[in-house]
A and B are shown apart, each in its own frame.
Chain A
């Protein structure tokens, strides 16, 4: 059996002949992978210490010169697929389908240093899916080609072509290559064909092949224990047939043949040559490997991720089966990265848009953190020197690079937005410098990002939160400083509402302590403040469709009036008049409806006006309407908060007398107009314009008081509006409105309803702005096509959604459904189609029913039988929560009228409420 094994001391000398490598005996049990390094006989003389020391040496070597630079980018000729940084942090290699270049990172710019894509004919071997720069050797690079070739490059070669070796063992695209972090010659590749291969760069073919289909070893024993039993750890460069032995067998055998060299056992032990070709054909279905990464801390361990969502942990000496396997993601796992410092921490990113951090040190892989991003995660890289930070980029749609604090998974800590197409490769420039990030992108650019130039989404985030409670309480959270400033404006909250302040306990360890201090205030509603009763009533009683417009308007006006909302009622009446052409309707009927529906205040005013007015049916109705307008105005003003009304009064008081005079004047004119209708049509024309101007005036007046709705209701008694004082103070405004309505009346029969669409639109906007979106939506539905075109789609949609939301808060499901159904906005009407599935469990076996109708396919019985009639219930099903018997709603109701016992005869006393 061949060679003498090299001792650990001898191992430091570099072997000239790779094939002559032997086993390394081990003196004592080793538990940490890092200690294996000196035993292996593979390392370069300079790097034979444990990785920790090596790391520090690298640091000291480079630590002297502090990295400098700025945020910069350079244009590449073609899209990049991957980038990798040289260990000196001064060069970066960019690889893509048609680019393979090395750039030097200088202070101000990237400088192209070397084009590795030489030769005239473009070869697929050069179309790189991945590239990696050896972290120990500045001259060594490896690329993974899309045609399944793994290529290594030696920059030390004197010729123009730096290509070193070509491994053509993979049958499909190679997705990832990875150098061993400390070994100079160990390269690992993972391919679409489902295999991972380990190459020793001194040999022409792979030394071991790992199949993604391999079963997990972890079940029958702890993997690490096996290492500790004291037999010789087999080198990765050994022949694979030794490695394929069953552990127990290997254990016994290897103790005997401890010094057995690879050449001998290849033939004697197994008698078969287990090369990459030995795979049985059925294995070709194994899942594609998306990423492979050597553990930084554990010498023999590497992780691989798969298209089916699995992550496997391998011991490089045991290609027969993986140490551990678990499902990490739903869908492909595109990437993984070992934490540079925390042993056993592995971050994985997948198509399911998640980044997960796993702790591998425990018996089962434990998910420690989970970050939800907005697109599938293509790359993930831990940030150096920041224990909880990692950088991610996405494969589709999202072009930004995010740096996350895994403990704060909702908002990224930093964001780089330089790229215009998806980012395909990211790399931290130096393993101990957290502020420089390099990235390559499909937009053919290479970027260096500086952390201090990153945008911080936290700053842009809205730091306030607002939420309604079940009983109308309002909680409000904001930054403490903000609330402190606000508290000076206490009256804003109102005296009946009590803010309660909570203060969050701060964790001094948290890095965001400064940002996280916030205060929560809760505002309670006043007791007995069922102020929204009118809303519910209105919603329930309004008729929105199914009858002629005129009837709908009348009905709704009536409802509003009965609830004491006279302004709304009046609006309905007006709408009716505008849109139901009087030519079609008998005038008497019109006046009748108005008169009948009118509140006492209105009638009072009617009678008052009628004294002055000339008789005549036509004019009477018109005046009715004119008074209606006037009244609606009084209501509006009534409803306004006292303060503002006073202001109004002050304003108008100055012009009190002339205004009064005007009123009389105008009304006198009105009289004449009505009497001498035909003659005065022409003089009337300019006045037709005047009210148009007056109309916005009304809005200004009304808009100012944002009085709460319930206040309005209280103040809205007809007695108040009918009082003489009010009428006096309101007179000026009144006049302008009487003008308006007169002209309305006058031209009603001639003007198309389109003429009013502007006014109606303004009216709807007015209501919506006032908070009465109910009115806006109801009118919108009732009028339908007549106004829809005047209001832009988005506003309509906004109203609809607000109203539906309100209705649902009040649990008016039926009404909200009706509104959804009647809406014409597509976004709204499709609300009804969403999640219309009802999942039913069988009442016997308690398992979900499949879609096979009413029979459970497991217990073959009809579920949901009516206890009364013993038929299957296909509509409304009511059941007792005590005994879970039930049946048709009607049947159960009838049954329980006569008996209090359960109809099923179970003896339970059911209650129906």
Chain B
């Protein structure tokens, strides 16, 4: 763990709060830092200040002041033009062109078409090269999902940043970072008890029930065989249902002071995959998956990054300690797969070989609300949401869930973007 911190510190010159939270899962953190380091500092088609600026653009889409501030500093540090920070319209035309992709990618990635790609690649002197575009897309998706993580775990600003040493909730959540890092649950539990008035035994049953369900599913899976139509409809149902899963408290979060100028068209937000007017065909993973297609494309255009991201996905997907709350030796693969596929389902990505009925069994409503909010509209996450799902679970497990969320989201966005690029190329 210390070695990781040291590496991180050496690479970034700081130890940010994201790192401090992620270190719950050192194996993942190592891969994460390696990837981020490579994306931001190592060889790549884009100049350094562009990379940070794209990071700012992406984070600003989710009004994540924390990430924006971090990267504003980095941007200036690598010699970026401070004028650009006054808004996207002050940045070069080339970056402005990227704004549209950023917007669609962040909120409705299924709408990306090869025309978007063509528009970027064929813009006379402001055009992007394919390699640059892939770099930019990877950066965008990385920071979209990192913004999800920031809100999902309630990362507070760095101590030297604005709002860092105040108790004013800068983004959403207001619990101190130390609670998490020290594993100091008592404070949190007290919160829960007072705020929600839920008895401990009640939440205890939650875990039991979940485990029981998993056991049942494991056993009966082969006994009752759902018909094909049923399987197909289950996906549709899950998709449609995900639409109604939304936090009731839709209070407007006012964008932080200087965030709003980094993005335009604030009204453009997540719209449910199944709700919006035109019918977008379901994305079949069996036709375009990361392992076979996405990886090859990324690695071809931006060498080594495919490998790094692939590793990261792998670690995130397979990470398990075989524990669930107070239970040990539990196979959580089913639960993890349900979470992963649920997120992809929200983006309209379907696995032929998955029974979407499992999701309904395993993920309860409050958890779904949390997932959906973190993935689609991270800026609306509240501490109450964080607290109200999986009450008996440890913080480390909730962070684990967040890792799954952000990686699944990143993969979903990447799949759409890369598919569009592939279509453009053929």
Q: Which residues of A approach B to under 8 Å, CB–CB?
A: 79, 97, 121, 123-125, 127, 129, 145-148, 168-173, 192, 277, 281-282, 284-285, 307, 331-332, 334, 351, 375-376, 378, 395-397, 399, 420-422, 826, 830, 833-837, 850-853, 857
Contact = CB atoms under 8 A, between A and B. Distances in A.
A121 B228 contact: yes
B43 A124 contact: no
Contact of B286 (A123, A129, A171, A282): A129
A397 B425 contact: yes
Contact of A395 (B225, B293, B310): B293
Given A97-B287, A282-B331, A375 B296 contact: yes
Given A351-B292, A852-B7, A277 B353 contact: no
A824 to B, nearest CB: 13
A396 B353 contact: no
Nearest to B293: A396
B296 A376 contact: yes
B209 interface: no
Interface in B1-15: 3, 6-7, 10-11
30 contacts: A79-B287, A97-B287, A123-B229, A124-B352, A127-B286, A147-B228, A168-B222, A171-B221, A171-B353, A172-B353, A173-B286, A173-B352, A284-B334, A285-B318, A332-B291, A376-B292, A376-B296, A395-B296, A396-B292, A396-B297, A397-B296, A397-B297, A397-B300, A397-B425, A421-B426, A826-B47, A833-B43, A850-B7, A852-B3, A852-B10
Contacts of A421: 426
Nearest to B310: A331
A182 B293 CA distance: 35
B229 A121 contact: yes
Contact of B228 (A125, A285, A375, A835): A125
Given A168-B225, A331-B307, 17 more contacts: A124-B352, A146-B286, A147-B231, A147-B352, A169-B222, A173-B286, A284-B331, A331-B295, A331-B310, A376-B292, A396-B296, A397-B296, A397-B425, A851-B7, A851-B10, A852-B6, A852-B10
A206 B168 CA distance: 63
B191 interface: no
A285 B333 contact: yes
Nearest to A174: B353
A279 to B, nearest CB: 11
- Nearest 9 interchain pairs by C-beta: A281-B331, A146-B352, A396-B296, A146-B286, A123-B228, A147-B352, A148-B353, A173-B353, A376-B296
Interface in B192-244: 218, 221-222, 225, 228-229, 231-232
Nearest to B222: A277
Contacts of A277: 222
B291 A399 contact: no
A282 B218 CA distance: 12
Interface of B: 3, 6-7, 10-11, 42-43, 45, 47, 218, 221-222, 225, 228-229, 231-232, 284, 286-287, 291-293, 295-297, 300, 307, 310, 318, 322, 331, 333-334, 352-353, 422, 425-426
Contact of A857 (B3, B45, B221, B291): B3
A146 B296 contact: no
Contact of A853 (B10, B231, B333): B10
Contacts of A420: 426
Contacts, number: 102
Contacts of B352: 124, 127, 145-148, 173
B333 A284 contact: yes
Main secondary structure of the interface of B (DSSP, over half): helix
Q: Which of B218, B284, B296 has the most CB of A within 10 A?
A: B296
A124 B228 contact: yes
A146 B353 contact: yes
A753 B222 CA distance: 83
A121 to B, nearest CB: 6
Contacts of A282: 322, 331
B309 to A, nearest CB: 13
Q: Which of A125, A375, A376, A837 has the most CB of B within 10 A?
A: A376
A888 B45 CA distance: 35
A277 B221 CA distance: 10
A622 to B, nearest CB: 40
Nearest to A282: B331
Contacts of B296: 351, 375-376, 395-397
Contacts of B334: 284
A172 B285 CA distance: 12
A340 to B, nearest CB: 27
A213 B13 CA distance: 42
B363 to A, nearest CB: 19
A148 B228 CA distance: 12
A284 to B, nearest CB: 5
A846 to B, nearest CB: 20
Nearest to A793: B125
Contacts of B291: 307, 332, 351
Contact of B47 (A145, A168, A170, A830): A830
A146 B221 CA distance: 18
Contacts of A422: 426
A56 B257 CA distance: 81
Contacts of A129: 286
Contact of A147 (B7, B353, B422, B426): B353
B43 A396 contact: no
B353 A192 contact: yes
Contacts of B232: 124
A243 B185 CA distance: 51
Contacts of A852: 3, 6-7, 10
Nearest to B307: A331
A396 B10 contact: no
Contacts of A836: 43
A707 to B, nearest CB: 39
Nearest to A276: B222
B124 to A, nearest CB: 12
Contact of A835 (B6, B43, B225, B331): B43
B34 to A, nearest CB: 11
Contacts of A826: 47
Contacts of A307: 291
A834 B43 contact: yes
B218 A830 contact: no
A652 to B, nearest CB: 46
A376 B42 CA distance: 25
Nearest to B231: A124
A850 B8 CA distance: 12
Contacts of A79: 287
B253 to A, nearest CB: 38
A170 B297 CA distance: 29
A145 B286 CA distance: 10
B230 to A, nearest CB: 11
Contacts of B310: 331
Nearest to B329: A282
A97 B218 contact: no
Contacts of A853: 10
Nearest to A852: B6
Contact of A851 (B11, B322, B333): B11
Contacts of A168: 222, 225
Nearest to A192: B353
A148 B231 CA distance: 13
A204 to B, nearest CB: 13
B292 A334 contact: yes
